[in-house]
Amino acid sequence: MNQLENELSLEFDKHARQLDFAISEHQKSQLIGFVLLLNKWNKAYNLSSVRDPKEMLIKHIFDSIVVSPFLNGKNFADVGTGPGLPGIPLAIMQPNMHFTLIDSLGKRIRFIKQAVHELKIDNVVAIQTRVEDLKPDILFDGVLSRAFASLNDMLHWCQHLLGSDGEFLALKGQLHEDEINQVPAEFVLVQSIPLLIPSLVGERHLVKLKSALSK
């Protein structure tokens, strides 16, 4: 273990103690491995505006995995995934679920495929396409987005991806009432869950929405 890996391991343990769910040593190793790969690729491909690997732990890894306990179903789409967020951290935390990561930029999809290969993650598929052009063979139980678009735009562009009883799950910062009020009438707000991300300054919420026609 080199110095950076050791420092990340210590930081990881400090933050993980503040969570109310367990992370195995294997999951920890994969999550740190993902940060190391993202840090390496970021220097050439500019995949993330976050440059400090320790900051990546908080803003990318823990900011993603806190959603893990709130996933219902088996088959998820991560739209506008960027370098694989929150999809890859969630796939590591939920090895029995399947994640389709969607982005329109080739360099991001290439990175995701390399990361999945190197970290031996077998429940992720990466697809380069515009989300509105995707025609999945099987509709998803959940459609995730993290800083992808407004709730209104997310619902407009992604409604064709969701199964009849599926959920939209939007990771948001500060939740503005105006954005909630603009949600189309054919969708209902199921829940807005405040998320506690260790050492992160600022608000985070998980917003769950469903079709008004679902049971």
If pLDDT is split at 50, 70 and 90, which confidence band does 19 have? very high
Range of the domain at 173: 3-211
Phi/psi at 115 (5° precision): -65, -45
Mean pLDDT in residue range 38-52: 95
Q: Calculate what percentage of the chain has a pLDDT beyond 70.
A: 100
Q: What is the largest CA-CA distance in the chain?
A: 54
C-alpha to C-alpha distance for 171 and 128, rounded to whole angstroms: 22
- Indicate the pairing of strand 140-146 with strand 162-172: parallel
Give the pLDDT confidence score for residue 193 in this predicted structure. 95
The pTM for the full model equals 0.96
Q: What is the CATH number of the domain that holds 68?
A: 3.40.50.150
pLDDT tens, position by position, 93-142: 999 999 999 999 999 999 999 999 999 999 999 999 999 999 999 999 99
Instruction: Give the number of domains in the chain.
Output: 1
Q: Is the pLDDT of residue 215 over 60?
A: no
Task: Count Cβ atoms below 10 Å from residue 189 Cβ, excluding itself.
Answer: 13
C-alpha to C-alpha distance for 205 and 7, rounded to whole angstroms: 29
SS3 175: coil
pLDDT tens, position by position, 151-207: 999 999 999 999 999 999 999 988 788 888 889 999 999 999 999 898 888 889 999
The label of the residue with tokens 């992808």 reads 148
